[in-house]
Structure formats: C-alpha cells, structure tokens
Amino acid sequence: MPPSITFETKCWENDWEFLLKTDRIERMVERSMFDFAKRSLLINNVSDARKVAARAEKLVRTGVLTDFTIVRDHETEALDFFGLSKASFGSGYVYSIAELVGIYLCQTDFLLHFSGDSMPARATPWLEIALKRFEADGRVKVANLTWNDNYAEAAKEAFAVDDEFCVSYGFSDQMYLVRTSDFRSPVVYREKNVMSERYPAYAGELFEKRVDSWMRNHDFHRLTYRHGSYVHRNFPTGTIARKLELLLEKTVRRTG
C-alpha cells in the first residue's frame, strides 16, 4: 500500500479570493497527479474568518477540499507542541504559523504543501518517484518541483544530479513534500546555521529558515525534480490589478 499524502495549501487576506472564488485549488490538485488522502486548506490572517470559511465550505461540499482549518484556532496548541513561542519568530511569525499548524494537524504519512501563490506549471507524475527516493535514502527530508522553470539554476545549486532529481541543501516554503513524522519533531525548529542567514532579514526567524538550518546541520537533502516545475508569482495588491487578475484566474483554461 503506497504512503498516504495530504495535499495542503493556504490563504490569507490578500489572496483568499483567488483560491476560493476560482478553480485554482482544483487545478493545483489535478496537476499534482496523485490520489490524496486529504485535501486541506489553511486560513490565516484574514479580516473576516467567517466569510472566508463559508467560501471554503462550498469547496468541501463540492469535493474539491476534504477540510479546512482556521489557523488562529490551533496556533497555541501547535506552539506548545513544538515548544516554541510566538516572540521567538520575531517578524517571521506571520510567515510561519500556518505551516506549523498544518504539520501539527497532519495525520497522513506525507504532506505536500503549496503556498497560495504557487502552482504546478503542468500535470506532472512526480510524487510516486519522490516517495521511492524517500524510502530508499533516509537523508532525503524534502522534495519539490523545480521553481519557475529554473532548471539550470537548480542544477547549479546541487551537489549531485541524476536522471530524476537535483540533490542539494536548502528549503523553500513555496512548496514542499515532507514526511510528516520528520517535521513533527520539535528539534527541527531549534537550530541555526550561518548559511541560513541568506533568508530575508525582515522575515525574522521564520519557519523555512529554521528548517534550512536543521537540514544543513545534519546533512539532510533536498530533491528537486528535473522534469517538472511550479510557478510562483505574487498576487497583485492594487485594487484594479487585483480585479483583473481575479478575472483572469476565473477564466483560465485547464491545461492539465
């Protein structure tokens, strides 16, 4: 029996309409080409949680999602579980708490996470290949598609390249496939490494910086798939630009 995976994405005030008023989440799931045990949404930092939750409930009723979580309802218990304080993240707390709550609540063997503004560029059957590598090599702690078609950059960052993956250090919260039991260990989030200081200073001691330090300190590896990409693009913030982008998102054709 293959390992079970939860598909997870998140939304906040600036992007919930793009995810919940369009078929964006459905396309994210379809392009991941896997029979997920759960399809979950994290709702974080929104001005009207009841309104956003009502929209999410519609996606549950239509079968796009299996469940959704309002992050603030679980943040205290997640912090207690990991032995962390809100203050320890500094300005990075808002960039970290949704991911930590998702990992804390995850009940499947693996967790596939996409930020709301990330999307598989096309349908790619990479997950089963990645799962086999997790099973074969205990040093593998995260796998992901190549970012924004930057295959040459991924190869340049790698210390090994094979037929399927570039093998490297590093971690990004734009997307990740992780073994849940690895990331539910509190020790992951308590380490530092000088190489991890490359993350933006304005984001404080954020989640992805902590994971990066843990991986580097213990020679844990990241797999970047060489034959598939995801697209990360920030949603616009201006009113007119947002309306145009939302219209585009609503009318985009599914390409697999």
DSSP 115-178: -TTEEESS----HHHHHHHHHH-TTEEEEEEEETT-HHHHHHH-SEE-SSEEEE----TTEEEE
Please give the C-alpha separations between residue 113 and each of 54, 192, 240, in angstroms, as whole numbers: 22, 23, 29
Which tens digits make up the pLDDT trace of 147-166?
999 999 999 999 999 999 99
Complete domains list, the chain, with CATH: 5-251 (3.90.550)
Supply the pTM of this predicted model.
0.94
Average pLDDT over residues 53-70: 98
Is residue 58 scored above 80 in pLDDT?
A: yes
Which tens digits make up the pLDDT trace of 20-52?
999 999 999 999 999 999 999 999 999 999 999
Please give the C-alpha separations between residue 28 and each of 138, 177, 188, 223, in angstroms, as whole numbers: 28, 14, 28, 20
Among 245, 222, 228, 44, residue whose Cα is nearest residue 126:
228
Please give the C-alpha separations between residue 42 and each of 58, 161, 196, 233, in angstroms, as whole numbers: 15, 34, 26, 19
Q: What is the pLDDT of residue 85?
A: 97
Residue of higher predicted confidence among 235 and 162: 162
Given pLDDT bands bounded at 50, 70 and 90, which one contains residue 243? low
